[in-house]
Amino acid sequence: MITIQLDDRQLQGALAQLRQRLGDLTPVMQDIGEELLDRARQRFATSTGPDGRPWAPNRPSTLAAYAARYAGSYKQDGSLSKRGQARIAAKKPLIGESRQLSQRLYYQAGRDSVFIGSPQRYAGVQQFGARRGQFGRTRRGAPIPWGAIPARPFLPVTAAGEWLGTGDREAVLGLLARALEDAARG
């Protein structure tokens, strides 16, 4: 599991004000979790990171391995069939056969915090990327991973706990402002 603590003074100030008024921030944290979860899911649909930049495309070797898993992807002469070309054209980065990473996102809200992530073991590698051989070697001596994996962030923060782009941060601040207004009225 990877834990990143976000240190945003404006966000912390708004949370402190809310904590004074409400005590238990679980409902607000649930709203923040839902918002960030929806935004992460949208990134899989658009293949873009929190900063709005498109994810790195799949490498030709990845696409070839993907097509090879399906009968009818290649002609007898070894070239791609129309069916294989269609499979490769439709293959989005981070969307595997099982779609587990895009479908197994969750959040956990508490009294004064919210965690968002995925239980998939490879989620951190997809978020931050990995160098060829970063995780050692197989018993046969092959590097793990066998090639460099580019970062394709789907969560709104860096490993250093900084926001990627401003949309998620602004959405969280908007939810906090709305909660403060509701607390002031009630």
The list of the chain residues with pLDDT below 70 reads: 1-7, 97, 186
Distance, in Å, from the CA atom of 140 to the CA atom of 56, rounded to the nearest integer, reads 29
8 A C-beta contact, residue 116 and residue 105: yes
pLDDT, position 186: 66
pLDDT, position 183: 80
Virtual CA dihedral for 83, 84, 85, 91, nearest 10 degrees?
110
Q: What number of CA atoms fall less than 13 Å from residue 122's CA on the CB side?
A: 15
Domain boundaries, the chain: 9-55+102-185, 58-92
pLDDT, position 140: 95
Q: Can you give the pTM of this predicted structure?
A: 0.80
pLDDT, position 89: 87
